[in-house]
Amino acid sequence: MDSRSWLQAGGWRTRGHCLRLNLKGSTYKAYAMAWPYDCSWLIVCALLKAANGVDVFLKWHIAIDTTIKPVSMNQPIITINGMFPGPLINATTNDNIHVNVFNDMDESLLITWNGIRQRLNSWQDGVSGTNCPIQPSKNWTYAFQTKDQIGSFFYFPSTNFHKAGGGFGPIRVNNREVIKVPFPKPEAEFDLLIGDWYQKSYQDIRSSMNTTVIAYSSFPDMMLMNGKGPFLNPLSKSYESFTTYRFRISNVGIAWSFKIRIQNHRMVVVETEGSYTNQITLDSLDVHVGQSYSVLVTSDQITADYFIVASPKMSNATEISGLVGIGVPHYGNSTTPPTGPLPSGPDPFDLEFSINQATSIRWNMTAGGARPNPQGSFNVTDVTLSQTFILSASTAEINGAPRYTVNNVSCLTPDTPLKLADQFANGSGAYVPDEFSTNFTNPESMGV
């Protein structure tokens, strides 16, 4: 067997821009017998490579598109490589992600990777005050590792109210093949990004947020599913339809929490933000801003199309208002459109229901996560508490502008990113460590 036939037989496969070697023990045994030289070092290297992950290289151009019109309004949409929502980052535990971001907008921007742990490289998470924004016509390569992680996440632009204009997209971190997943492999997976949406441009909304009336009393106009408006809404340019099975649901909105339900179907919660959960079956699931869940849906009903509905919490929104996001799960051979009333779900003002549901979603302590050992094998029972933080949220007016505060403190973007201040000035002049108490509300509102 020559090297060419060995590589062909070896089962190389592509994933993204990378090559990955399928590790099959019986196949390696055949190689060892046929190959005239000692290949044990090659097998060890391949195994180490699989444990350490692969390099994923992505090139993104972030730009404004005024032709998409998800709600039939003339407004700028932030796209990535012409896509809204942006492209999927499909990674595996321990992969090394390299995203070269070209800013083709006329404003500076930052991209944050919601839920991805930045270990010893927090400056790779693009949030205000952590690293420098990418200036117009410039580019920056984010480099981070999905170290010891699995689960469903998303990315979004974190400054200048850009998130209200798009620029978000899904992240999957899949298990390594040697790690058992605590539920049967679904037939298909689907990323479902749901969020509230304004009919005005994000620039107009941003500028109006300096007024108290708009900041505290103005609400979004619609609910989008994967960048598409509600089914049968006259303002929707299109609506989302999909086949079933595993849904990775994220709330990519600005203001509204939502409850999601599927007509005549139930959802089994199996994962949230990087941890497998004890499996519970729900008719309605609350998803708050920034949260992500994985649910399994079994296509066990009569062949037809059905409604999937996401409506805001703490609101009397009706399907006519546009604030009820409506999609259509489609059975593959269905010719029957969805019919009947939309599934109503629990009272949107029932806080006790929401709290009880949140506390019922528990970590699956016996399942493996990113590693083969159970998620609950980490012993945290002997941790000594050294500080107690008492946090109180409120609103305030600081320098003439409305702000949300925690203990009467609101974050202002520093002139020098904090990580640069740490590295080059030991924080001098950028911030004062331990300036505020951890257990009481400061008497005056201030921005820091």
Range ranked top by mean pLDDT from 99-113, 231-245, 321-335, 372-386:
99-113
Q: Is residue 280 part of a domain?
A: yes
pLDDT surpasses 90 at 51: no
Q: Are residues 356 and 210 in the same domain?
A: yes
Average pLDDT for 235-249: 70
Q: Is residue 373 part of a domain?
A: no
Give CA–CA dist 77/83, Å, rounded: 10
How far, rounded to the nearest angstrom, does the alpha carbon of residue 270 sit from its chain's CA centroid? 16
pLDDT surpasses 90 at 128: no
Q: Are residues 335 and 410 in the same domain?
A: no
Q: How confident is the model at residue 344, as a pLDDT?
A: 87
Q: How confident is the model at residue 100, as a pLDDT?
A: 98
Find where tokens 């109006």 sit: 208
The residue with greater pLDDT, 69 or 415, is 69
Tell me what the pLDDT averaged over the chain comes to. Answer: 81
Q: How confident is the model at residue 428, as a pLDDT?
A: 67
Q: Are residues 243 and 160 in the same domain?
A: no
Q: Is residue 325 part of a domain?
A: yes
For residue 140, give its domain range.
55-174
Provide the number of structural domains found in the chain: 4
Q: Are 323 and 223 in contact (CB under 8 A)?
A: yes
Q: Are residues 347 and 435 in the same domain?
A: no
Percent of the chain with pLDDT over 90: 46
Q: Are residues 278 and 414 in the same domain?
A: no
Q: How confident is the model at residue 252, as a pLDDT?
A: 96
The candidate with the shortest Cα–Cα distance to 224, out of 212, 239, 244, is 239
Q: Is residue 414 part of a domain?
A: yes
Give CA–CA dist 91/15, Å, rounded: 9
Q: Are residues 281 and 397 in the same domain?
A: no
Q: Are residues 7 and 145 in the same domain?
A: no
Q: Are residues 65 and 107 in the same domain?
A: yes
Q: Are residues 18 and 166 in the same domain?
A: no
Q: Are residues 339 and 439 in the same domain?
A: no
Q: Are residues 351 and 228 in the same domain?
A: yes
Q: Are 65 and 76 in contact (CB under 8 A)?
A: yes
pLDDT in tens, 269-305: 999 989 999 999 999 999 999 999 999 999 888 888 9
Q: Is residue 368 part of a domain?
A: no
Q: How confident is the model at residue 65, as a pLDDT?
A: 96
**Residue at a domain's end among 124, 147, 174:** 174
Q: Is residue 165 part of a domain?
A: yes
33: confidence class by pLDDT, cuts 50, 70, 90: very low
Q: Taking the model in full, what pTM does it have?
A: 0.82
pLDDT in tens, 164-220: 999 999 999 999 988 889 998 888 899 999 999 998 999 998 988 888 888 887 788
Contacts for 163 with CB less than 8 Å, ≥ 6 apart: 156, 157, 202, 252, 254
